[in-house]
Amino acid sequence: DTEVTQTPKHLVMGMTNKKSLKCEQHMGHRAMYWYKQKAKKPPELMFVYSYEKLSINESVPSRFSPECPNSSLLNLHLHALQPEDSALYLCASSPSGLMNTEAFFGQGTRLTVV
Amino acid sequence: AQKITQTQPGMFVQEKEAVTLDCTYDTSDPSYGLFWYKQPSSGEMIFLIYQGSYDQQNATEGRYSLNFQKARKSANLVISASQLGDSAMYFCAMREGMEYGNKLVFGAGTILRVKS
């Protein structure tokens, strides 16, 4: 299994809603990532988890809250988002995050905040 | 400072011809890895090819090859025999250093269109 699975694929939420994005991998990877991507722009790193511990937070607003319940799962909890948070949210994993390891990406969740 | 620079916002290539997508990078770390990803309109990021800073030879993967010029800090992607399915956004990316779980940082991307 070489897949990173993200659910849901599409999400529309109001600014007062609370929702969660889910990411799952069964490749035994110990580094997992959340990226945000606006249209025609590169992915921007949000968070990195290494061995289920948060290792990098790229100064992301607190309305985004990551969680890594176990080595296979990564969640992104969303609360009180703004319309400008509408984007493609990509999850990725890699065996270690060392310089010679590529990241495997999920298909993303297209989020629209109304 | 920009770590990864892709200067070609868009490129056209005729089907069956070769095309080169440019990428330059900036790092003071002697240990780094360079990656190319393809992103079709569907959104998934597809890993294409990897080049390590200590690799002596240029990486190749099927129709993809990486023209690595370390002194010039460039890592251009060459796609040979272009196909219509190669039309997509292409990103160059870099990891620096030997820390566990470190960042993968992307360039701005190049949109490639293959003409029939």
B positions 44-63 inside 8 Å of A (CB): 44-47, 50, 52-53
Closest residue in B to A52 (Cα) is B101
**Closest residue on chain A to B89 (Cα):** A40
CA-based nearest distance B116→chain A, Å? 24
pLDDT of residue B1: 58
Q: State the average pLDDT over residues B1-25.
A: 94
Q: Report the candidate in B44, B37, B40, B41 with the shortest Cα–Cα distance to residue B64.
A: B37
Identify the band that residue B102 occupies on the pLDDT scale cut at 50, 70 and 90: confident
Considering only alpha carbons, which residue of chain A is nearest residue B88? Answer: A40
First to last CA, chain A: 36
For residue B32, list its beta bridge partners.
B96
Separation of alpha carbons A55 and A52, rounded Å: 9
Take residue A45 and report the two structure tokens written for it.
Answer: 């790193």
Mean pLDDT of A27-42: 94
Contact A105 B45 (CB under 8 A): yes
- pLDDT for residue A102 is more than 90: no
pLDDT at B78 over 90: yes
B43, A41: Cβ pair inside 8 Å?
A: no
**Interface contact flag, A102 B89, Cβ < 8 Å:** no
Q: State how far the Cα of A26 lies from the Cα of A78, in Å rounded to an integer.
A: 24
Contact residues on chain A for B108, CB-CB shorter than 8 A: 41-42
Asked if the Cβ–Cβ distance from B33 to A101 is below 8 Å, we say yes
* pLDDT value of residue B73: 96
> Which pLDDT band, with edges at 50, 70 and 90, does A54 fall under?
very high
pLDDT digits 0-9 by tens, A60-83: 999 999 999 998 999 999 999 999
Cβ distance of B103 and A48 shorter than 8 Å: yes
Are the beta carbons of A49 and B101 separated by less than 8 Å? yes
The pair of structure tokens assigned to A55 is 């290792």
Average pLDDT, chain B: 93
> Is there a contact between B64 and B82 (Cβ–Cβ < 8 Å)?
no
